């Protein structure tokens, strides 16, 4: 299946997405990546999607968390990736994690989906008044490095690398959002 980035639809999760999103989550766990921020323990799918919507509005945030949005990329009815957008940084996100995190399902990789997700995240940030975004990736993730650079990312000149919670070296890039001043 060939994906064209111009055919992608970016939107928040809804009730109908449950099985596809859970399947994507299980598939990406093999890469040690969490597609969803949901454990299902005591929370229904509709409660989860409501929580994601409320976080975008800055409501019901856990202690120490920032306002954030969670969006999926959909190609002809199939979820192919997701992007998390943090509209501000706290101390932790300012070190590792940054403004944008994205993941692409294996069958959709190397087709421009990651770059489209990143660009969508940058547009979200620009609309929220953010001029430049911090995006981090594992130092050995060549695909993510290439995506960030293709979206205008420049390696942080003052603190280019850091270690994440697992002790893995991460690269830090600053990317202009394209916000009109």
- The fold for domain 5-130 equals Aminopeptidase (3.40.630)
The more confident residue out of 29 and 63 is: 63
**Unique residue bearing structure tokens 């070296």:** 169
- pTM (two decimals): 0.91
Angle between helices 142-150 and 113-127 in degrees, nearest 10:
50
Share of the chain above pLDDT 90, in %: 73
**pLDDT bucket at 160, cuts 50 / 70 / 90:** confident
The more confident residue out of 112 and 33 is: 112
**pLDDT bucket at 180, cuts 50 / 70 / 90:** low
Nearest-angstrom CA–CA distance, 153 and 137: 12
Nearest-angstrom CA–CA distance, 41 and 56: 22
Nearest-angstrom CA–CA distance, 133 and 159: 15
Mean pLDDT to the nearest integer, 30-43: 79
Nearest-angstrom CA–CA distance, 1 and 51: 33
The more confident residue out of 31 and 152 is: 152
């Amino acid at each position: 299946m060939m994906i064209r980035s111009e055919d992608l639809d970016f939107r928040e999760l809804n009730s109908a997405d449950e099985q596809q999103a859970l399947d994507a989550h299980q598939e990406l766990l093999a890469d040690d990546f969490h597609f969803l921020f949901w454990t299902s323990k005591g929370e229904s799918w509709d409660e989860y999607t409501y929580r994601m919507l409320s976080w975008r509005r800055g409501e019901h945030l856990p202690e120490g968390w920032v306002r954030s949005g969670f969006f999926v990329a959909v190609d002809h009815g199939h979820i192919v990736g997701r992007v998390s957008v943090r509209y501000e940084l706290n101390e932790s996100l300012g070190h590792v994690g940054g403004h944008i995190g994205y993941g692409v399902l294996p069958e959709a990789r190397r087709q421009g989906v990651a770059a489209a997700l990143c660009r969508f995240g940058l547009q979200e940030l620009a609309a929220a008044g953010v001029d430049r975004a911090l995006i981090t990736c594992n130092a050995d993730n060549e695909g993510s490095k290439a995506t960030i650079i293709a979206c205008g990312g420049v390696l942080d000149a003052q603190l280019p690398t850091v270690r994440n919670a697992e002790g893995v070296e991460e690269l830090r890039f600053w990317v202009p959002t394209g916000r009109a001043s």
